[in-house]
Amino acid sequence: MKNLILFILSFVTFTTFASARTFKAIVRTESNAAKEAMVELEDLISETSFDGKHFKIVKGKSDEAIAFDASEELVFKAATTYYHLTIARNYFINKVKSDFVSKTEKMVIRIEHTNQFSELGHHANDNLDPQFNNALTVPAGVGLASRGVVPWGSEIWFRPQKKINIKDLNTNNLGSQQFKVLMRDFRNQIHMQSLQKFMLGVATVLVSGSSRSNPFSLDSLMRTAGSSLVMEFGYQFIDPITKATSRKWYWLDTAMIPEIIYHEYSHAALSDHLVLSHSTAIIEGMADFFAGQISGSPQLAKHIKKYNTFNGKNAKKKQDYAIQFEMSDYANTDFVFGMLWEIKNILGEEKGEAFMFDLRKRLTTNSTIRGELIDGLLQTCDSVCDQPFIDKIRILKALNLRGI
Ligand SMILES: [Zn+2]
């Protein structure tokens, strides 16, 4: 009898562990609004924390996985991040058959992490410009034994949100001149760190200037600066709980926005060829493209069509494409994203998707739009397209119509 009870107990324990655990997470509705739902998390290897076969979700600099009995808010965030990372990983393995991703080591995912990234020290000093409202994928590092910094693998960092009310911002005479400086800062910054500063700048301009007569609406500013369409899309669905999304506030809870999670994971998944040394229009445009594919949202596709800066002869418009931004930053990100999206549509959904995944082999982080990207598109067509001669003509025609 005792043995039977032990047997049943071990069976119960085993089945509890083997069955997927359900958690509350943010998901998208058909119309792409954000909502709370109960989701199953796959491949957890811990019974008490967000430690899985492929992802370990930690808070800040900690190396311990977040416990299931942590605060409700933290668990909600960890579950949402884990859930969407799993979707992104499954996409790369099952849909585009990435050998690299299937062999990728387990990743540490940091949420609520404010430290800057340091190539030598992993986490920069706590006092050095803490980060909010953005996300970042960091490359692996060898560590610094003399300082006790152990080696680390590629990681994704999600910053905590920080609500910035336009009214609370310091408006010290920041006018159009300062705005130019802010725009330059935006372009010089890497990745989404820049979005926060940029948005701060926008908010400041809106306060200091006449917001109504200001020709730069929040939307048009985001567009002109070439920030990602996917980001902007995510920004429109920020707060599913209070639905308090307001143009008077700015914040981005990046660990809760599926498209941003997909974008960051795409950086890691494409890093077999697009190394994570710095941000360029190519690397951001490619990550956005795959974020769009993973989300598979018809609403997002509509949004891309509506706002696509690649519509029209855009390479001739400085605000959409500028050659001097080719290498140094991602001001042309939307241009690249729009171009890739349009070529996918020319080739057809399935073919186009496989094409873009193959394209990464012919690109590097330092590729230029007019140089290696165009060459890469044509070379990829030679190896992937069904009718390379005809399809290359179609691609060239589309590029030519757009001024490239
Ligand atoms: Zn990015």
Q: Are residues 230 and 312 located together in one domain of the fold?
A: yes
387: CA distance to ligand 1 center in Å?
A: 33
- Domain residue limits at 269: 164-401
Q: Does 17 map to a domain?
A: no
User: What does the block give as tokens for 188?
Assistant: 């010089």
Q: Are residues 182 and 129 located together in one domain of the fold?
A: no
Q: Are residues 26 and 46 located together in one domain of the fold?
A: yes
CA–CA dist 134, 157 (Å, integer): 9
Contact between 143 and 171 under an 8 Å Cβ cutoff? The reply is no
288: CA distance to ligand 1 center in Å?
A: 7
Contact between 225 and 284 under an 8 Å Cβ cutoff? The reply is no
254: CA distance to ligand 1 center in Å?
A: 12
Q: Does 10 map to a domain?
A: no
CA–CA dist 364, 372 (Å, integer): 8
Burial (CB < 10 A; 0-12, 13-18, 19+), residue 274, is buried
pTM: 0.79
Q: Does 15 map to a domain?
A: no
Burial (CB < 10 A; 0-12, 13-18, 19+), residue 167, is exposed
pLDDT tens for the chain, 404 residues long, are 555 555 554 544 444 454 579 999 999 887 777 789 999 999 999 999 999 999 999 999 999 999 999 999 999 999 999 999 999 999 999 999 999 999 999 999 999 999 988 888 999 999 887 877 778 899 999 999 998 999 999 999 998 887 655 444 333 333 333 333 433 443 333 333 334 444 444 444 333 333 332 333 333 233 222 344 565 565 554 444 334 444 445 566 788 888 889 989 999 999 999 988 877 778 888 988 998 899 887 777 776 766 555 554 445 555 455 555 555 444 566 678 888 988 999 999 999 999 999 999 999 988 888 889 999 999 999 999 999 999 999 999 988 877 77
Alpha helices in 131-192 (DSSP H): 176-188
134: CA distance to ligand 1 center in Å?
A: 10
69: CA distance to ligand 1 center in Å?
A: 32
264: CA distance to ligand 1 center in Å?
A: 6
Q: Are residues 345 and 202 located together in one domain of the fold?
A: yes
Q: Does 277 map to a domain?
A: yes
225: CA distance to ligand 1 center in Å?
A: 15
* Residues with Cβ–ion distance below 5 A, ligand 1: 284, 287
Contact between 40 and 21 under an 8 Å Cβ cutoff? The reply is yes
Q: Are residues 185 and 89 located together in one domain of the fold?
A: no
Alpha helices in 250-309 (DSSP H): 258-269, 281-295, 298-307
CA–CA dist 223, 80 (Å, integer): 28
Q: Does 7 map to a domain?
A: no
233: CA distance to ligand 1 center in Å?
A: 14
297: CA distance to ligand 1 center in Å?
A: 19
CA–CA dist 289, 175 (Å, integer): 35
Q: Are residues 133 and 214 located together in one domain of the fold?
A: no
CA–CA dist 312, 369 (Å, integer): 17
Q: Are residues 215 and 360 located together in one domain of the fold?
A: yes
The residues near 231 (Cβ < 8 Å, ≥ 6 apart) are: 192, 195, 259, 260, 263
Rounded-to-10 torsion of CA 236, 240, 246, 250: -70
Q: Does 14 map to a domain?
A: no
Vertex 289: Cα angle to 112 and 37 (nearest 5): 50
Vertex 182: Cα angle to 180 and 187 (nearest 5): 95
Q: Are residues 31 and 179 located together in one domain of the fold?
A: no
User: What does the block give as tokens for 236?
Assistant: 């429109």
Q: Which of 120, 140, 158 is the last residue of a domain?
A: 158
228: CA distance to ligand 1 center in Å?
A: 9
The residues near 123 (Cβ < 8 Å, ≥ 6 apart) are: 61, 115, 116, 117
263: CA distance to ligand 1 center in Å?
A: 6
Rounded-to-10 torsion of CA 78, 80, 83, 86: -80
Q: Are residues 88 and 179 located together in one domain of the fold?
A: no
Indicate the helix (H) or strand (E) that contains 156: strand 155-158
343: CA distance to ligand 1 center in Å?
A: 21
Q: Does the CA dihedral 204-225-264-273 come out positive or negative?
A: negative
86: CA distance to ligand 1 center in Å?
A: 18
Q: Does 11 map to a domain?
A: no
User: What does the block give as tokens for 350?
Assistant: 């399935």
Q: Which of 141, 158, 175 is the last residue of a domain?
A: 158
**Count of residues for the chain?**
404
Domains identified in the chain, total number: 2
How high is the pLDDT of residue 306? 63
268: CA distance to ligand 1 center in Å?
A: 10
